[in-house]
Structure 1
């Protein structure tokens, strides 16, 4: 019984020491320091004035900015806009913009202008139509597969396209590169010389081509099956590319 009492007193002493150490800590009762963070989203349009901090003039964008052109027709890299994200998707919205440092533009009357209003459809860059941005291509993914494979592409909005958010974004796209193989040629070879494996040789599938050659097209059964598979596009080039 005495051993249990000694153990209880030992635990009580350890617990009291932890409590005293915690209460004596200088952080107890004090709020953590507040660090201001700048929000990347603007809830309302902000007028841009000449006193705003101007970016450093570099030749990287000046070479693409025509001098003396209309301000609202400048490429996206030539202007700075106060985009607000509380607009309705797909509907026109007005944004306050100004030309970047070193860029000279005019209004519709031909008078020099610094600040102007730009009207564009409310959508983020990654929501643009496929014709309004360009993406990197991948030649390492298989295009002829079931299901069709995708790859992570780095995309960028075209210079003349204005949109909200980052102009460089990531998208999951279908593998769509081609090695120059024609579907019509492969189908014609499958119908005419498929019994000798000509279609498989053309597509770069040498093992299947040799198998059809020495088996006389699988006694005609393999030849008929390949005509159907190539016709529907299920069998494609060995490098995984698309037909042209």
Structure 2
């Protein structure tokens, strides 16, 4: 009996709370500068055919990175969470810079095919912009085929890339590799409050 009464009261409370919250959602909208929104307050939808450049397989307008050329940025269309209106557009859409991989036209498939079939003549290295190594492979028959085998592995793993520092052209949802580098933000530095343990 008490259980049934408790369930009825909680059901009544939930119905009242849901009704109040739906009314509050309709009444409350905030107008903000959408460039200051944090993760979870906006979504940049999966790129559609209008946002991806078919030649580079990256966002249109992907620019070359300053420190690392392959790590660039591009402005894409994003959508603010429900109840948020952007100052810039007076609706819930806005443009935001997202990371992209700057490419200069070097295809991973072409580099890999050249390495497998013509790597003994150094054509893979000539294609990627390394004429010195390509000439050495040409004169030594791919370092007696060992250099060819090594280059097949290095190009397939995307360790060896184009000489200009750009990324390979790979389908947007393809098997791209992201290199994680260690810097002062990712490396644990000793803090002043740590005690010396001897």
Query: Could you state the TM-score of these two structures normalised by the residue count of structure 1?
Result: 0.38
Relative contact order higher in (CA < 8 Å, ≥ 6 apart): 2
Query: Could you state the TM-score of these two structures normalised by the residue count of structure 2?
Result: 0.46
Determine which structure has more spread, i.e. the larger CA radius of gyration.
Answer: 1
